Amino acid sequence: MAWQRVRIPVPEDLNKNEREEAGRLMVEGIRDRTAQGMGIRQSGDRVRLKAFAEYSPEYLDKKKKAGKYSGAVDLKWTGDMMKALDVISHKKGSILIGFENGSEENDKAEWNRTGTSTPNRDFLGMTKSEIRAVIKSVTQGKEQD
């Protein structure tokens, strides 16, 4: 299976601590957005938010019987996949977010993102406005130092 990760551009003047904080906030934001049933749609360099495709009737029935139905597509049958999402690395100008290569969670993420057995439900990435909000949060007050 392919390694599921995304490199997110950030301003080159962010220092190590700021990149680590931005990465943490990005992972948190992706988890929160995914729990709300929203993913992304990529078209070239453009990334937009997109509601996830609905569950199949069969899968929905399984979720309901297991007491795991929340009303929206949330990619959290057990929650393990989204808990495993993390900052892999960062360097000047970018943050790499994704899953441990070869892990079960990585395989689940690929299955959801590519739509091999289900409708495509891509969640790994951020819109420019989401990135701007994270960077603003991390650098707020920086000019005042």
92 with 82: CB under 8 angstroms? no
Which letter, b or e, does each residue of 54-83 get, where b requires 16 or more Cβ atoms within 10 Å of its Cβ? ebeeeeeeebeeeeeeeeebbbbeeeebbe
What is residue 77's predicted lDDT score, i.e. its pLDDT? 58
Q: Provide the pLDDT for residue 23.
A: 98
| pLDDT value for 91 | 98
DSSP letter at 52 equals P
pLDDT at 80: 83
So what's the pLDDT on residue 69? 67
pLDDT at 101: 96
Q: pLDDT averaged over consecutive 10-residue blocks of the chain (145 residues)?
A: 95 97 98 91 89 80 76 66 96 98 93 76 94 96 60
Is the entire prediction scored with pTM above 0.85? no
Per-residue model confidence (pLDDT) at position 74: 61
User: How many Å separate Cα 104 from the centre of its chain?
Assistant: 16
Q: What pLDDT shows up at residue 118?
A: 67
Residue 64 backbone dihedrals phi, psi, to 5 degrees:
-65, -45
Q: Which residues pair with 47 in a beta bridge?
A: 42
